[in-house]
Amino acid sequence: MSNPNKDVIDVLNDLIEYSKDGEKGFKTSAEDVKNPELKAFFVKRAAGCATSAAELQSEVRRLGGDPETTTSVSADLHRGWVNLKSLLTGKDDEAILNEVERGEDHALKAYKEAREKLVKLGRTATDSSYNLVETQLQGVQRNHDEVKALRDAARARS
């Protein structure tokens, strides 16, 4: 018997990968950055991504699916590039923030696309999966905006 929620589960599992990617990316950035305030921000954001992934995994289970537990291959490749670039730039705060913002751009796009897919699947504001994605999308937007502001401030100092 097939699961009538399969398509919704697929959408949520994609977002789990993005959340796991974000967690790993923020942890790596926290290790690389020298500024203690940025380090604390990245640690906090990594924890937020872990919470988001756990919420999505819980929703997938509620829908009768098997939640994703890993990061995406493309994010692993991106992190390798970030690490190489960081070595070449001396792990400059601005360079790290540029890469973090790029990662947040991808996450923001993924969440917006997921919301559109859920709408096409007939999920709207009365649906718990839609509401979870919408709430997390707002959080991703806040992260993106804050990272951009931090990057702009670092750029202004240099």
Q: 1 lies in a domain?
A: no
pTM (predicted TM-score):
0.86
What does the pLDDT look like over 116-136, one tens digit per residue? 999 999 999 899 999 999 999
Q: Does position 104 have pLDDT exceeding 70, yes or no?
A: yes
pLDDT digits 0-9 by tens, 65-94:
999 887 665 655 555 555 545 554 566 888
The domain tally of the chain equals 1
Q: Is residue 98 part of a domain?
A: yes
Q: What is the mean pLDDT of the chain?
A: 87
pLDDT one-digit tens code per residue, 35-51: 899 999 999 999 999 99
User: What residues make up the domain containing 142?
Assistant: 6-157
- Identify which of 6-20, 23-37, 60-74, 85-99 has the greatest average pLDDT: 6-20
In a domain, 54, yes or no: yes
- The CATH number of the domain where 93 resides is what? 1.20.1260.10
**DSSP string covering the chain:** ---TTHHHHHHHHHHHHHHHHHHHHHHHHHHH---HHHHHHHHHHHHHHHHHHHHHHHHHHHTT-----S--HHHHHHHHHHHHHHHHHTS-HHHHHHHHHHHHHHHHHHHHHHHHHHHHTT--TTSHHHHHHHHHHHHHHHHHHHHHHHHHHHHHH-
For 157, residues 6+ apart whose C-beta sits below 8 A from its C-beta are: none
